[in-house]
Amino acid sequence: MSPIQNQAVLNQGTGSEGLGAVLEGIRNKGDNIPRRTSPEQIAYEAYCGSVNWKSFTGDALPQWPDVRPSLQAAWQAAAMAVLLEFGKLDPVPDSNNRDRPNHDPLNPVAETKQFRKDLDAILQRIKTSNRKSRERSLAFTELQMVIMWLGMDLKEQNEANPYPESYNPASPKIEPTADGLKL
């Protein structure tokens, strides 16, 4: 289904059945839809379909490959936040996760640390982007919070405290982040 066909299906019926048909069409392997490679692309294309591929100024929205890298990074941050919220963070379509050596559901400490590193990489891309906006600032803050909560997840797993001086008010020492994050 093309984006225009997706929008036509979305507009059918009461809305929920139209959306169900769109999702079913996307999932149907018999369709000649090119495989989307990332959650951010899926989110972007869903958004574009919901606004008939028009920006708020009425201009046509670009196809995913033509979206500026800085905007792709913003969509990636948003998609990651949703995936984390719903416990579905596995941003690599390859189920073997070959390029994520610490993605190991049997080792939750290593997995959590890898999630933190992955998110920090996104954070750094947003930080170094030329585009500055309130929305990006909010996304940046939310990513920092997600990384912090994953740190609390490490604590919950009884991971050793990497900041032994943090409970000593007399100590002037401020420890760097344990996993080398730049935040």
Domain ranges of the chain: 1-66, 68-183
How confident is the model at residue 12, as a pLDDT?
43
Q: With contact defined as beta carbons under 8 Å apart, do 54 and 61 qualify? A: yes
Encoded amino acid at 160, one letter: A
The answer for residues whose C-beta is within 8 angstroms of residue 91's C-beta and 6 or more apart is 38, 39, 79, 80, 83, 118
Give residue 80's pLDDT band: very low, low, confident or very high (50, 70, 90): confident
Report the predicted TM-score, pTM, of the whole model to 2 decimal places. 0.42
Encoded amino acid at 30, one letter: G
Q: For residue 80, give the 3-state DSSP assignment.
A: helix
How confident is the model at residue 7, as a pLDDT?
44
Q: pLDDT tens for residues 124-148?
A: 889 888 999 999 999 999 999 999 9
For residue 61, give the DSSP letter. P
Q: With contact defined as beta carbons under 8 Å apart, do 68 and 76 qualify? A: no
How confident is the model at residue 61, as a pLDDT?
94
Alpha helices (H) along the chain:
3-10, 16-27, 39-50, 69-85, 108-127, 134-156
Among 65, 68, 28, CA closest to 45: 65
Examine the pLDDT at 112 and tell me if it is beyond 70. Answer: yes
The answer for residues whose C-beta is within 8 angstroms of residue 49's C-beta and 6 or more apart is 3, 6, 7, 10, 22
How confident is the model at residue 163, as a pLDDT?
75
How confident is the model at residue 62, as a pLDDT?
94
* CB count in 10 Å sphere of residue 180: 10
Examine the pLDDT at 165 and tell me if it is beyond 50. Answer: yes
**Residue labelled with tokens 């984006």:** 3
The answer for residues whose C-beta is within 8 angstroms of residue 31's C-beta and 6 or more apart is 1, 25
Average pLDDT on 61-80 reads 88
**Residue labelled with tokens 């909010």:** 138
Give residue 74's pLDDT band: very low, low, confident or very high (50, 70, 90): confident
Examine the pLDDT at 65 and tell me if it is beyond 80. Answer: yes
How confident is the model at residue 71, as a pLDDT?
87
Give residue 104's pLDDT band: very low, low, confident or very high (50, 70, 90): low
Average pLDDT on 44-51 reads 89
Average pLDDT on 79-95 reads 63
Average pLDDT on 87-112 reads 58
Q: With contact defined as beta carbons under 8 Å apart, do 105 and 87 qualify? A: no
